[in-house]
């Protein structure tokens, strides 16, 4: 058995949904749900690393999240601050390498700074590669890539005929990463919500009714089992990759 098979799926992407509902069902403010969501993320990162998953990409703040009340947005910034301050050493000890995908320009300068430092601190690590999507939107990412390619074509360093799928993918935030084979979404909705639109072309989507704060090691393993059950149905006719 090759390493590839041992760690199939190599790349898991997660839409962490339902923090607010988790809290509301308990009569708690939504902020409690987000805080519990950070704990769920810590569990899932640790377990993914233990299971030998190579890449984990999580949707932490979408371009649509700016529509939330300012207080909630500020609370999420505070959680990010704490995450980058307190959790980075724990991740570093696990050899996790952190990368932000998305456009952090509109974030407070100190949060941007902490995110950049987390990337720097962990950049030599050879363990799990953790992508945190912040102010990420799939369509915006594709438009940005198209714009960069158009600029190069205008400059003359590229001809339109040279633009193929591999070249295009180099202009995405995920350049250099394999596409996710599995997307997990919590709290029952079966939508992609503008997450990794290009990269998930052939991914399996596994939806669980659990709200994100309740997602744990067993839930991750259940999602992997479901993925492998579906993947096996393709038998020798492997899914297009």
Q: Contacting ligand FPP (CB under 6 A), which of 7, 29, 51, 65?
A: 65
Query: x-or-dash pattern for ligand FPP, window 182-221, by CB under 6 A?
Result: ------------------------------x---------
**If binding means CB under 6 A, how many residues of this protein chain bind ligand FPP?**
17
Q: How far is the CB of 166 from ligand FPP (least distance, A)?
A: 30
Find all residues with CB under 8 Å of 136, minimum gap 6, and list them. Answer: 59, 61, 62, 63, 101, 102, 103, 173, 195
Taking the C-alpha atoms of residue 191 and residue 63, their distance in angstroms, rounded to an integer, is: 16
Instruction: Indicate whether 19 belongs to the interface with ligand FPP (CB under 6 A).
Output: yes
Preceding omega of 9 cis (within 30 degrees of 0): yes
- Which residue number has the CB closest to ligand FPP? 20
Of residues 136 and 212, the one with the C-beta less far from ligand FPP: 212
- Copy the structure tokens of residue 6: 């041992």
Q: Are 45 and 56 in contact (CB under 8 A)?
A: yes
Find all residues with CB under 8 Å of 29, minimum gap 6, and list them. Answer: 23
Q: In Å, what is the CA distance from 6 to each residue of 25, 54, 86, 228, 230? A: 39, 11, 32, 12, 17
**By CB under 6 A, which span of 33-41, 97-105, 120-128, 231-239 interacts with ligand FPP?**
33-41
With residue 62 as reference, give the H or E element that holds it.
Answer: strand 55-62
Q: Contacting ligand FPP (CB under 6 A), which of 8, 21, 75, 163?
A: 21
Q: Contacting ligand FPP (CB under 6 A), which of 12, 13, 38, 56?
A: 38
**213 torsion bin: left (phi>0), alpha (psi -120 to 50), beta (else):** alpha
Taking the C-alpha atoms of residue 29 and residue 18, their distance in angstroms, rounded to an integer, is: 13
| Catalytic (active-site) positions | 17, 65
Instruction: Indicate whether 132 belongs to the interface with ligand FPP (CB under 6 A).
Output: yes
Taking the C-alpha atoms of residue 43 and residue 208, their distance in angstroms, rounded to an integer, is: 17
Of residues 60 and 88, the one with the C-beta less far from ligand FPP: 60
Q: How far is the CB of 41 from ligand FPP (least distance, A)?
A: 5
Instruction: Indicate whether 102 belongs to the interface with ligand FPP (CB under 6 A).
Output: no
Q: Are 198 and 169 in contact (CB under 8 A)?
A: yes
Q: Contacting ligand FPP (CB under 6 A), which of 9, 12, 14, 37?
A: 37
**By CB under 6 A, which span of 34-42, 121-129, 190-198, 230-238 interacts with ligand FPP?**
34-42
| Binding residues vs ligand FPP (CB under 6 A) | 16-21, 34, 37-38, 41, 60, 65, 79-80, 83, 132, 212
């Amino acid at each position: 058995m090759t390493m590839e098979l041992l760690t199939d799926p190599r790349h898991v992407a997660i839409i962490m949904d339902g923090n607010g509902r988790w809290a509301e069902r308990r009569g708690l403010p939504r902020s409690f749900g987000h805080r519990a969501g950070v704990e769920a993320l810590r569990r899932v990162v640790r377990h993914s690393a233990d299971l030998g998953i190579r890449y984990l990409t999580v949707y932490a703040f979408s371009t649509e999240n700016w529509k939330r009340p300012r207080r909630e947005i500020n609370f999420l910034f505070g959680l990010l601050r704490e995450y980058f301050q307190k959790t980075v050493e724990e991740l570093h000890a696990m050899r996790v390498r952190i990368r932000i995908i998305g456009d952090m320009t509109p974030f407070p300068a100190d949060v941007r700074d902490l995110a950049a430092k987390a990337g720097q601190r962990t950049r030599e690590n050879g363990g799990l590669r953790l992508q945190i999507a912040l102010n990420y939107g799939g369509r915006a990412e594709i438009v940005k890539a198209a714009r960069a390619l158009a600029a190069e074509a205008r400059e003359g360093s590229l001809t339109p005929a040279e633009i193929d799928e591999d070249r295009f993918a180099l202009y995405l935030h995920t350049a250099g990463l394999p596409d996710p084979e599995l997307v997990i979404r919590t709290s029952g909705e079966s939508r992609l919500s503008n997450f990794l639109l290009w990269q998930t072309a052939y991914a399996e989507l596994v939806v669980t009714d659990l709200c994100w704060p309740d997602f744990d090691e067993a839930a991750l393993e259940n999602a992997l089992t479901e993925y492998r059950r579906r993947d096996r149905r393709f038998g020798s006719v492997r899914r297009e990759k």
